[in-house]
Structure 1
Amino acid sequence: MAAVAGVVIPAHNEERVIARTLERLADGVSPGDLDVVVVCNGCTDRTATVARAAAPWARVLDVPKPSKVEAVRVGNAAGTVFPRVHLDADVAISGADVLNLVQPLREPGVLATAPQRVLVRDRSSRLVRWFYDVWEQLPQVRTGLFGRGVVAVSEEGQRRVDGLPRLMSDDLAISEVFEPGERRVVWTAFAEVRAPGTFRDLIRRRVRVATGNAQAVQADVRRPESSTTLATLARLSLRKPSLAPRVPLFLLVGVVARLQSRRAVRSGDFTTWLRDESSRA
């Protein structure tokens, strides 16, 4: 039986979460429905061993260099099945949701899809929850494909993604390379993304985002409408008054993140990955 979709999972030192990710992928699908390639890149832990034990039906590859870009390249070269799903190793999505996710890619003109984001905040501090209360309501966050940990593309969509420069914020670039009518958030597919635990964890993550956004602007990849402006936040506060007290915190996090990202941006360091370990606990 031919696979319905291919799945590429880059994994760097993900032994704590990779089994959960792969076990969820097996939910709601028959053997052979998904062609899954896990690319362990530069791992110094047991990611590959755990992945092979959890999912003997998946292909687990090892590459020496700790690089998500290189891992995705290797995974794409190994995969032959389209539509293709790019899945972060710390994000949980069921096989049934993957099937729902790729279904619209068979419609004319739809080149990329992403699932509905389920942001898990049970281990997050109050300030972290307040930040994401605002962030989740931003128009570009609701309609963009980024920040979900899962993106699916058709074969034509993959060719367009392959033409992008290598960027830190790869999911933002993927979202921006497609016109609004070519991309779709699929409301019958759900992916669990864990929010940071502490305010410090949040700042680390947002510094990485700010650095990646700056690189995307330099590469002329980012669309102006995907940026958050004061006008956007003002409209949001008027539309949802309960969020107004949280907006100053949201602005503070953005300012701190941009200030802390300046050194990396000035030096052109778009490879240092400020990883949030709290979401992998």
Structure 2
Amino acid sequence: MPNPRACLVVPAHNEAAVIGRLLGGVLADAEPGELSIVVVANGCTDRTAEIARGHGPDVTVIESPVPSKAAALRAGQDAATAYPLMYVDADIELKTGDVRALIRALERSGAHAAAPSRVLDLGDGGFLIRWYYDVWRELPSVREELYNRGAIAVSEEGARRVAALPQVMADDLVASMAFAPHERVIVADARAVIRVPRRFADLMRRRIRAVTSVTQVVDHPDLPQPPRTGVSDLLRLARSRPALAHKVVVFAGVAVLAKILARRAVRRGDFTTWLRDESSRA
């Protein structure tokens, strides 16, 4: 195949435990040269770059001493060799067929952005984590928007829009906001497997990061207001799905606690500390 059908950009900070799983799945059924993958190993102190290089000539590895996802995404986009361009998180699971489905969706729909359907791997997390995600995945913004899916594929025009966005912590949220509803599509036959936290403390780390990053977007003068979940959304869900009512209480409690715990970072303007969940990478 003379030219790749798409280029995947994978920012990876100390992802030795999972990068092989992602690359192995993406390349499992791919023809030689069908896909180009740029792994940007940023601030790594483990074997991320070495493992990525071991997946063959279709994988290019860029190493940066700076642990910055935003900078890694820009470096990967600058090195991209084909469109569509896909921004992919290193800790998800994606297969060759899923990548092909995203490519087809962009070609057939004329959309500028496409994201996979989401499959949550709940693993052996406790009931509080399961209840939280039982509510989370039913929220309108979670069901309809492109973010929190681990991958976004964009056309060449879409890539230009993403490149012009301010560098913020909530990169996938802002990328999603760059496209009107008629310019984006969620692809049912592309499935990204996302592992949720196995421990409640790690769930809180994720939620504190989410609150902090959304606050940065809300306060940014050059960005529109993001979609947000309000009390009315939760009450509506509890009324329409009575079996979820007690889980909505847990969800709301986690949201309030995360907001309280995020205040310190917000007051300091700390929008660079990445509170990472390690339990889902085990």
Alignment of 1:97-112 (within 5 A): 97-107=98-108, 109-112=110-113
Root mean square deviation, CA, Å? 1.2
Is the 8 Å Cα contact of residues 36 and 59 (structure 1) preserved in structure 2? yes
Name the CA distance, whole Å, in 2 between partners of 1:42 and 1:122: 29
AA of the residue aligned to 2:101: N
Name the CA distance, whole Å, in 2 between partners of 1:4 and 1:240: 43
When the two structures are superposed, what TM-score results if normalisation uses the length of structure 2?
A: 0.96
C-alpha displacement of 1:110: 0.7
Name the structure 1 match of 2:203: 202
Is 2:53 the counterpart of 1:49?
no
AA of the residue aligned to 2:81: T
Name the CA distance, whole Å, in 2 between partners of 1:177 and 1:78: 22
Name the structure 1 match of 2:216: 215
Deviations 1:9-67 (A, max 9, x none): 01110111111110001133211111111110110111111111234431111111111
**Aligned partner of residue 7 in structure 2, secondary structure:** strand
Residue segments in structure 2 that go unaligned for 5+ positions in a row: none
Is the 8 Å Cα contact of residues 84 and 155 (structure 2) preserved in structure 1? yes
Name the CA distance, whole Å, in 2 between partners of 1:229 and 1:104: 32
Q: Percent identity?
A: 48
Name the structure 2 match of 1:58: 59
AA of the residue aligned to 1:27: A
Deviations 1:162-216 (A, max 9, x none): 1111110101111112111111110010001000011111000000000011011
Name the CA distance, whole Å, in 2 between partners of 1:57 and 1:152: 18
Name the structure 1 match of 2:131: 130
AA of the residue aligned to 1:154: S
Name the CA distance, whole Å, in 2 between partners of 1:137 and 1:28: 33
Q: Give the 4+ runs in structure 1 shifted more than 4 A.
A: none
Residue segments in structure 1 that go unaligned for 5+ positions in a row: none
Name the structure 1 match of 2:75: 74
Name the structure 1 match of 2:269: 268
Name the CA distance, whole Å, in 1 between partners of 2:254 and 2:24: 35
Name the structure 2 match of 1:12: 13
Is the 8 Å Cα contact of residues 22 and 55 (structure 1) preserved in structure 2? no
Is the 8 Å Cα contact of residues 105 and 112 (structure 1) preserved in structure 2? yes
**Aligned partner of residue 263 in structure 2, secondary structure:** helix
Name the CA distance, whole Å, in 2 between partners of 1:79 and 1:12: 19
Name the CA distance, whole Å, in 2 between partners of 1:65 and 1:173: 22
C-alpha displacement of 1:238: 2.0
Name the structure 1 match of 2:27: 26
AA of the residue aligned to 1:275: R
Name the structure 2 match of 1:177: 178
**Aligned partner of residue 110 in structure 1, secondary structure:** coil
Name the CA distance, whole Å, in 1 between partners of 2:11 and 2:207: 21
Is the 8 Å Cα contact of residues 23 and 55 (structure 1) preserved in structure 2? no
C-alpha displacement of 1:237: 1.4
C-alpha displacement of 1:104: 2.0
**Aligned partner of residue 54 in structure 1, secondary structure:** coil
Name the CA distance, whole Å, in 1 between partners of 2:20 and 2:62: 15
Deviations 1:61-117 (A, max 9, x none): 111111111111111111120000100011110111101012122246511110001
**Aligned partner of residue 190 in structure 1, secondary structure:** strand
Is the 8 Å Cα contact of residues 35 and 58 (structure 2) preserved in structure 1? no
Name the CA distance, whole Å, in 1 between partners of 2:225 and 2:103: 25
AA of the residue aligned to 2:60: R
